[in-house]
């Protein structure tokens, strides 16, 4: 624990111990030069020889705290409290040492006593908020933070903690506190990151871009804001700029799965499949259990000659994610496309059928089923059934899902093909 020297000075200015003046100076010099063990030895010897002066105990406790030994500091402070029960500095430091030792019950009681004596004690209110938040007693945490903001409406720690608690509970009020923190402290990286991240969660990703650009003007080597900017571009549908920012982050030394994953997906969305494969292969080596990585890697590999590897990753994505019907249907369709390219028509048909069974709004799977039966397997009667199923389900689509121009074009092809097949079957007397 790093105790500010001002705290030490507040307790030592009136130093009057049984030490000779030369010993006082030597002990102070040892403390200020960081030789806390020697301070502890000297003050312990003084106490053992009968020194009961407050400052001797206080200096010993400060040195023990600096050494990261809250248990010993607590014992020293308790001994001092027996001699000086009204000394406020002991109560404050004792509460702090209980906090550092993780004894939040005693720390809570200690800080509660301090704010009862002085309701404007911002530091103690913040500690109470911190303890309450850790204990998930958010009602008490919010109360403590509200007290701080009444005293100091621009207190950064309180604004940030209030935003964090409200965000944890999906309370839209979180943005108010983060925005205030960022407005008052626009160069504070924690405030900027929290607000930018919240904007993305709130589907206001475009607002994050300006925040990141400002922070990167201050520190162009910040990996954290490069990644956040890349993700903001990804979420706003600009994969080219997302690739660029994720690339900068990697050049700066970022090696996280997150960056390689979303750089790869952005490459895929930008129709740069080679770039997608390179990034996603790195991502899958780092995390073999990410279903999204497997899916986009499989979909990207499907555009290459590595059809077997593509099928493996698509299968893996299905195994890992237990996806929603629409996603499962898309994966089966991708696998069907692969098998069709490999001229494995029966397997392709079965996969398109699975896609259709998973999501009956995936009309393209029905079309490909019919097309395979018609053009690849030359099963005219069976293909006619699937072509007709395609038209029947197309007509049943809700008005909100009216077909686009591509679907209208396919419909025209299907209708023409049905007429042609019926003629062929008529002349074949089938």
The answer to whether residue 14 scores a pLDDT higher than 90 is: no
Contacts of 98 (CB under 8 A, 6+ apart): 70, 74, 104, 106, 107, 110
Exposure letters 275-296 (e unless 16+ CB within 10 A, then b)? bbbebbbbbbeeeeebbbbbbb
> Can you give the pTM of this predicted structure?
0.70
Mean pLDDT in residue range 237-249: 97
Interatomic CA distance for residues 239 and 270, integer angstroms: 6
| Structural domains present in the chain | 1-102 (1.25.40.10)
Q: What is the pLDDT of residues 291-301, one digit of tens each?
A: 999 999 999 99
Q: What are phi and psi for residue 161, nearest 5 degrees?
A: -70, -40
Phi and psi of 178, rounded to 5°?
Answer: -65, -40
Alpha-carbon gap, residue 414 to 430, rounded angstroms: 20
421 closest CA partner among 388, 376, 392 = 388
* φ and ψ at residue 288, rounded to 5 degrees: -85, 0
CA–CA dist 412, 122 (Å, integer): 73
Q: Which long-range contacts (CB under 8 A, 24 or more apart) does 161-164 make?
A: 161/126, 161/129, 161/130, 161/133, 163/194, 163/198, 164/133, 164/194
- C-alpha 211/C-alpha 207 separation (Å) is 7
At 204 the three-state DSSP class reads coil
Residue 230 contacts residue 199 (beta carbons within 8 Å): no
- Give the model confidence (pLDDT) of 269-288 as tens digits: 999 999 999 999 999 999 99
pLDDT confidence band for 16 (50 / 70 / 90) = very low
Residue 251, token pair as written in the block: 């050049």
Q: Are 366 and 386 in contact (CB under 8 A)?
A: yes
Give 52-101 pLDDT, tens digit per residue: 888 889 889 999 999 999 999 999 999 999 999 989 899 999 999 999 99
Residue 384 reports pLDDT greater than 80: yes
pLDDT band at 1 (very low <50, low <70, confident <90, very high): very low
Asked whether the beta carbons of 192 and 182 are under 8 A apart, the reply is yes
Highest mean pLDDT out of 46-50, 263-267, 423-427: 263-267
């Amino acid at each position: 624990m790093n105790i500010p020297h001002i705290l030490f000075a507040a307790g030592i200015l009136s130093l009057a111990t049984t030490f000779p003046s030369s010993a006082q100076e030597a002990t102070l010099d040892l403390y200020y030069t960081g030789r806390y063990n020697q301070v502890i030895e000297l003050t312990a010897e003084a106490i053992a020889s009968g020194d009961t002066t407050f400052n001797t105990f206080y200096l010993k406790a400060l040195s023990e705290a600096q050494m990261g030994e809250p248990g010993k500091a607590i014992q020293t402070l308790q001994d001092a409290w027996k001699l000086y029960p009204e000394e406020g500095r002991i109560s404050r430091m004792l509460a702090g040492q209980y906090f550092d030792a993780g004894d939040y019950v005693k720390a809570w009681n200690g800080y509660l006593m301090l704010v009862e004596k002085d309701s404007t004690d911002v530091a103690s209110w913040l500690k109470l908020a911190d303890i309450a938040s850790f204990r998930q007693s958010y009602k008490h945490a919010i109360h403590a933070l509200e007290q701080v903001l009444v005293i100091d409406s621009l207190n950064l720690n309180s604004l940030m903690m209030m935003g964090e608690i409200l965000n944890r509970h999906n309370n839209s009020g979180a943005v108010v506190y983060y925005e205030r923190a960022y407005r008052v402290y626009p160069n504070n990286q924690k405030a900027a990151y929290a607000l930018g991240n919240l904007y993305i969660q709130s589907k206001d990703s475009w607002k994050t871009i300006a925040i990141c650009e400002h922070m990167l003007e201050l520190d162009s080597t910040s990996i954290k804001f490069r990644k956040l900017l890349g993700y903001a571009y990804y979420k706003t549908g600009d994969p080219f700029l997302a690739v660029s920012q994720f690339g900068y982050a990697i050049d700066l030394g970022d090696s996280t799965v997150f960056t390689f994953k979303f750089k790869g997906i952005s490459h895929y969305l930008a129709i740069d499949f080679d770039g997608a494969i390179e990034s996603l292969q790195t991502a899958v080596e780092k995390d073999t259990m990410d279903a999204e990585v497997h899916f986009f890697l499989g979909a990207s590999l499907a555009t290459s000659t590595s059809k077997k590897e593509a099928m493996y990753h698509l299968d893996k994505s299905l195994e890992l994610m237990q996806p929603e019907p629409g996603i499962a249907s898309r994966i089966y369709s991708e696998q069907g496309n692969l098998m069709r390219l490999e001229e494995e028509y029966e397997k392709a048909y079965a996969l398109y059928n699975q896609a259709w069974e998973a999501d009956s709004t995936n009309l393209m799977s029905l079309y490909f089923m019919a097309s395979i039966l018609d053009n690849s397997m030359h099963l005219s009667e069976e293909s006619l059934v699937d072509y007709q199923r395609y038209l029947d389900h197309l007509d049943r689509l809700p008005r909100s899902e009216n077909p686009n121009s591509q679907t209208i074009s396919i419909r025209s092809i299907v209708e023409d093909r049905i007429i042609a097949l019926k003629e062929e079957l008529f002349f074949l007397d089938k």
